Amino acid sequence: MTNAAALNDNMDIDTMEIQDDTRGLHYDENLLYEKERCDRPGVDLPPPEGTPLRTGFEARGDIGLSQVSEPQVVRHFVRLSTKNYSIDSGFFPLGSCTMKHNPRINEKNARIAGFAHIHPMQPESTVQGALAVMHDLQGWLAELTGLPGVCLTPAAGAHGELAGVMTIARAHELQGNTHKKVMLVPDSAHGTNPATAAMCGFDIRVIPTKETGRVTVEAFKEALGDGNDVAGMMVTNPNTCGLFETDIAEIVDLLHDAGGYFYCDGANFNALVGKIRPGDFGVDVMHLNLHKTFSTPHGGGGPGSGPICVAESLRPYIPSPLVLKEGDTYRLERDGERETQCGRLKGFQGQFGMHVRALSYMLSHGADGLKQVSEDAVLNANYIQASLKDDFHAPFEGPMMHEALFTEKYQKEHGVTTLDIAKGLIEYGMHPMTVYFPLVVNGAMLIEPTETEGKDAIDRFIDVMKKLAADARNGDVEKFHNYPQSAPTKRLDEVTAARQPKLRWSEA
C-alpha cells in the first residue's frame, strides 16, 4: 500500500478501489457518519470494566456522535473548508452584496488582544480604548453621511432597517401622529424594506417604477395622495437596479411637507461614499452595511453590522446605548437615561469586532481614499455595462452606479435563460452574479464587480460572458441546460431541493 492510498480514507483497503469521486489529491468528502467504523471507538469510549458507577445513579448513554478519531475529524473539516468558494478564492460579482476584498490590516487590528479578549460586561474604566473606537466610528459615520445621530448596535442591514423604522415609529408615536400608518416603498425595493415596515405595524403602499427603473415625481405624488396617513418612505439609493434616484431631492421635499420621514436604505453606500452626504439630500434615517461598504467580512466570513445614522430631528428616538464622551472619558448610555429612545435591539452594543474592522478600513483609506473607492466601484461597473451591451440586453439607460444590469432577453430567443448563464459561469470557474433580482426586471442579471477587482479579473469575466452569449447565439442550448459539467455537483433540481430539503442524515 502506498502512502497516498493509506491517507485516502475513501479507498477500500481490500480491493484498493476508490469508492467515490475522489481522484488524486482531490477528495470527495463524505459525511462523518459515513466514515465511522463501529469496531473503533471515537467519542463514546467503551465502559471500563470492573469500575463501579461513582455517581451512584445515572450512567451516561452513548451520545450518538459518529465514531471517528480526532485526526479524521480535523481532516474532514479542513477538506470541507477548501471546498468553499469565497472572495479570497475568486471573482464574486454578486449584485447588491458587495463581495469585495477585506484588507488584512482590518483583521490584524481586530485581533489585537485588547480588542479581541474583552468582555461586554467589563467595567467601563477597563475598556476605554474599545469605547474610543466605537465613538470614533460614530463620528466617521456621522461625517460621511451628514447625519449626526449614530447607533452602532444593529447586527446586520435588515436589523438596521428595523432600528431605523422603529425610530420613525417612535417619533410619530411621541408626536401623537397615530393617523400616520402608511410606509411608501417602490416596487424595486430590497425585500427587507417592506418586510421591516410591515413588522413595525405599517401598511405598505407600493410605488411603481417599471418603465424607468426609478421613482418619478409623478408616481410618488400619486402614492402620497394628501399625505395625511403617510409616516414615511423607504428608498434604496442607489436603487436595486443599480441606478441613482435622480428626483430624490424633490421627492424628499414633498414628503417632508406631508410630515413623513425619509428612510434611505444605504446598503449600497459604496457607490456614494466620499462623494455625497445623504443628509444633504434630505435623508432622515439611513442604515449602512459595514460588511459591504466598509469591507468587513460577510456571508460565511463573519457577522454583519448595520449601524443607523439619523438627522438631528430623529436623534432622540434612536435605540440605546450610544457611546458618549465626557471630558476624556467614554461611557455607554445607561438604560432609561434617554426616555424618548425606541428601545434596545440586543443585549450588548453590537458586533464590536466589525466596528474595529470598519474603523480600520476608514482610517487606512482616509477621506480621499474613500472617495476613490466609490469612483472605482462605479467605473468598474460601467466598464462591464459598456463592454457587454451588444451581447446582453440592458433594461435601463445608464450610466450605472456600482452595478451592471442585464436581462436574458437576447439569449431567451435561443432557449437560454439567466439560470443557464449563471451555471455556465460556474463551468468557467466563476461565481455567478445575482440572478432574478431585482424582481421588477424579467430574468435579471445583477453584476457588482466592486472596486477591489483589477482590470484582468474583470476582462476575464467579460470574455466568459461574451463566450456564453456567442454559444447561445450559435444554438448550443443542450450544453447550457447541462451546465455545470466539471463541478463536483452538477445541475441540481433546485425546485425539489427547495421544496423538499433533506435536513437530516439517515442511514441509506
Ligand X SMILES: *Cc1c(COP(=O)(O)O)cnc(C)c1O
448 binds ligand X (CB under 6 A): no
Report in angstroms how near the CB of residue 95 gets to ligand X at its nearest. Answer: 9
Q: State which of residues 236, 382, 385, 452 lies at the interface with ligand X (CB under 6 A).
A: 236
Footprint on residues 454-483 left by ligand X (CB under 6 A): none
Whole-angstrom distance, CA of residue 474 vs CA of residue 272: 40
The type of residue at 455 is: K
Q: State which of residues 192, 270, 296, 411 lies at the interface with ligand X (CB under 6 A).
A: 192
Mention every residue, 6+ apart, whose C-beta is less than 8 A from residue 217.
247, 250, 251, 254
Are 151 and 307 in contact, with CB atoms under 8 Å apart?
A: yes
Choose one: 53-61, 137-145, 263-271, 367-375; the region binding ligand X (CB under 6 A).
263-271
Distances (CA, A) of 76 to 39, 140, 371: 20, 43, 44
Alpha helices in 175-329 (DSSP H): 192-199, 217-224, 248-257, 290-293
Burial letters 23-40, b for 16+ CB under 10 A, else e: eeeebebeebeebbeeee
209 binds ligand X (CB under 6 A): no
96 binds ligand X (CB under 6 A): yes
Cα 453 to the center of its chain, rounded Å: 18
> Which x/- pattern over 100-139 shows residues binding ligand X (rule: CB under 6 A)?
----------------------------------------
Footprint on residues 43-82 left by ligand X (CB under 6 A): none
Choose one: 57-65, 67-75, 264-272, 441-449; the region binding ligand X (CB under 6 A).
264-272
In SS3 terms, 22-73 reads as CECCECCCCCHHHHCCCCCCCCCCCCCCCCCCCCCCCCCCCCCCCCCCHHHH
Report in angstroms how near the CB of residue 178 gets to ligand X at its nearest. Answer: 28
182 binds ligand X (CB under 6 A): no
Q: State which of residues 29, 265, 284, 451 lies at the interface with ligand X (CB under 6 A).
A: 265
Report in angstroms how near the CB of residue 192 gets to ligand X at its nearest. Answer: 5
Report in angstroms how near the CB of residue 236 gets to ligand X at its nearest. Answer: 5
295 binds ligand X (CB under 6 A): no
Query: What is the dihedral sign for C-alpha 61, 65, 67, 71?
Result: negative
Whole-angstrom distance, CA of residue 401 vs CA of residue 342: 34
Q: State which of residues 8, 109, 268, 411 lies at the interface with ligand X (CB under 6 A).
A: 268
Applying CB under 6 A, the site for ligand X has a residue count of 14
Whole-angstrom distance, CA of residue 37 vs CA of residue 505: 16
245 binds ligand X (CB under 6 A): no
Report in angstroms how near the CB of residue 5 gets to ligand X at its nearest. Answer: 45
Number of helical (H) and strand (E) elements in the chain, helices listed first? 17, 14
190 binds ligand X (CB under 6 A): yes
270 binds ligand X (CB under 6 A): no
In SS3 terms, 342-373 reads as CCECCCCCCCHHHHHHHHHHHHHHHHHHHHHH
For β-strands 308-310 and 149-151, DSSP reports them as: antiparallel
289 binds ligand X (CB under 6 A): yes
Are 354 and 298 in contact, with CB atoms under 8 Å apart?
A: no
Phi-psi region of 208 (alpha: psi -120 to 50; beta: other; left: phi over 0): beta
> Which residue's CB is nearer to ligand X, number 68 or number 163?
163
Our CA angle for 21, 22, 28, nearest 5°, is 75
Q: State which of residues 156, 163, 309, 447 lies at the interface with ligand X (CB under 6 A).
A: 156
Footprint on residues 399-438 left by ligand X (CB under 6 A): none
Report in angstroms how near the CB of residue 94 gets to ligand X at its nearest. Answer: 10
> Which x/- pattern over 315-354 shows residues binding ligand X (rule: CB under 6 A)?
----------------------------------------
304 binds ligand X (CB under 6 A): yes
158 binds ligand X (CB under 6 A): yes
Whole-angstrom distance, CA of residue 373 vs CA of residue 29: 40
230 binds ligand X (CB under 6 A): no
157 binds ligand X (CB under 6 A): yes
Choose one: 46-54, 63-71, 152-160, 217-225; the region binding ligand X (CB under 6 A).
152-160
Report in angstroms how near the CB of residue 190 gets to ligand X at its nearest. Answer: 4
Report in angstroms how near the CB of residue 472 gets to ligand X at its nearest. Answer: 29
> Which residue's CB is nearer to ligand X, number 163 or number 472?
163
Q: DSSP assignment, residue 407?
A: B
The type of residue at 27 is: Y
> Which residue's CB is nearer to ligand X, number 9 or number 448?
448
Choose one: 34-42, 154-162, 416-424, 482-490; the region binding ligand X (CB under 6 A).
154-162
Mention every residue, 6+ apart, whose C-beta is less than 8 A from residue 19.
10, 11, 12
Cell of 341: 429612545
Contacting residues toward ligand X, per CB under 6 A: 96, 156-158, 190, 192, 236, 240, 265, 267-268, 289, 304, 306
